[in-house]
């Protein structure tokens, strides 16, 4: 029986890296992709050292030709891609007065365009096989919150929600499920950046008003991704699952 294959974008650090580990433990062959070459290769090597099947490929999700070529290579080598986890994203703090067209487009091109490109590339193969799962990372900033000096990020992550819904309807007849995950405050390098996000002190403060009493860990999101890809979620499509420790329902 062929080992199922998952392709993860932004797999070098944070949620992507933890998801790669979680999928490997669940019995998947993991294709890790990232622009972070050193981190991505190290993550793949650690999975292999632990007995899993993994490999790293450099991928900038803004590059349509490279995205298409990589998907084609993986399909030819392993007989298909069962799951795509579109996780790659950036979050740069930019006040509106300084938000140039270039900065706006840069974030939208990665956080929303990157999801679109990898889904578009993987869909034909999934359609031919009559099955597949696409999972996209949104954010609580895309489903409920606004974020001061991050309007480009919030817009992109809101766009992911619409993309999930549209793709879910269009691809359902071909046996492909499309869902999203909207993480809350998760302890990642991005969230720990004082320049672009909350920083350590901000995360500690956030934990005080999260009902479960802590900020999330990347593994908390990774396990939800594995669930959404599994047969246990076979009747779930077009949904964006909030993973926030009760933040949204507890604070408002």
Active site residues: 153
Helix segments in the chain, DSSP class H: 14-25, 37-49, 64-78, 101-111, 113-129, 140-143, 151-171, 199-207, 218-229, 247-251
On whether the CB atoms of residues 47 and 104 are closer than 8 A, the answer is no
Cβ partners under 8 Å of residue 126, min gap 6:
80, 81, 132, 134, 171, 174, 175, 176
On whether the CB atoms of residues 40 and 14 are closer than 8 A, the answer is no
Burial 153-178 (b: 16+ CB within 10 A, else e): bbbbbbbbbebbbebbeebeeeebbb
Residue closest to 161 by CA, chosen among 174, 186, 179: 179
On whether the CB atoms of residues 59 and 122 are closer than 8 A, the answer is no
Residue closest to 98 by CA, chosen among 150, 61, 141, 56: 150
Residue 224 tokens, joined: 């939800």
On whether the CB atoms of residues 188 and 15 are closer than 8 A, the answer is yes
């Amino acid at each position: 029986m062929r080992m199922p294959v998952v392709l993860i974008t932004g797999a070098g650090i944070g949620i992507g890296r933890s998801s790669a580990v979680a999928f490997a433990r669940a019995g998947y062959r993991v294709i890790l992709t990232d622009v972070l070459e050193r981190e991505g290769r190290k993550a793949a090597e650690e999975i292999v050292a632990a007995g899993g099947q993994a490999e790293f490929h450099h991928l900038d999700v803004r590059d349509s030709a490279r995205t298409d070529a990589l998907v084609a290579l993986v399909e030819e080598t392993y007989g298909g891609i069962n799951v795509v986890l579109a996780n790659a994203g950036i979050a740069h703090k930019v006040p509106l007065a300084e938000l140039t067209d270039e900065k706006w487009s840069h974030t939208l091109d990665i956080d929303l365009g990157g999801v679109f490109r990898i889904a578009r590339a993987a869909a034909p193969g999934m359609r031919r096989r009559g099955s597949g799962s696409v999972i996209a990372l949104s954010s609580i900033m895309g489903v409920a919150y606004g974020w001061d000096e991050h309007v480009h990020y919030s817009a992109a992550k809101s766009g992911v929600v619409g993309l999930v819904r549209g793709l879910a309807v269009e691809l359902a007849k071909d046996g492909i499920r499309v869902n999203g995950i909207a993480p809350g405050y998760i302890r990642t390098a991005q969230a720990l950046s004082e320049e672009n996000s909350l920083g350590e002190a901000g995360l500690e403060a956030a934990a005080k008003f999260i009902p479960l009493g802590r900020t999330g860990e990347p593994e908390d999101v990774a396990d939800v991704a594995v669930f959404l890809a599994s047969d246990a979620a076979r009747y779930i499509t077009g949904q964006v699952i909030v993973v926030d420790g009760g933040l949204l329902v507890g604070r408002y």
